[in-house]
Amino acid sequence: MAQRVHRPREDAEFDFILGMSSVPVLAYFTGTWPKAIEPCRVMDLVVGDIADDYTSRLTIVRTDITRCPTATERYGITGAPSCLLLKEGEAVAHSTGPMTTAEVRTFLDGHL
């Protein structure tokens, strides 16, 4: 079974996952500072809820801002949680803040 949500430990691994993906990538950025922890946990649950439905059309990457600072800067991520939809490495959609399952589905379906 394919891994549903990738969790890169560093920028090089993030870039490797992007380079190997033949489908768009949902990179959702998380943080570990006190105000970000709970909203990021919520996003973990939301992304987990939709992961099976999008497995064939999307690669999902949970990206810790602290572990992947270059990717965070490259895509202009300024808060956590943030969702970024990438096609061939280029950002096509961006959202900052926690979202519901329905909001994530709308976000994805509008751009896939």
pTM for this model (two decimals) = 0.92
pLDDT band at 55 (very low <50, low <70, confident <90, very high): confident
Average pLDDT over residues 40-55: 93
**How far apart are the C-alpha atoms of 52 and 86, rounded to whole Å?**
19
pLDDT at 4: 85
pLDDT at 107: 96
Distance, C-alpha 73 to centroid of its chain = 14
* Domains present along the chain, CATH in parentheses: 5-109 (3.40.30.10)
Residue 1 has pLDDT above 80, yes or no: no
Using alpha carbons, select from 90, 81, 83, 88 the residue that is nearest to residue 104: 83
Q: Is 97 left (phi over 0), alpha (psi -120 to 50) or beta?
A: left
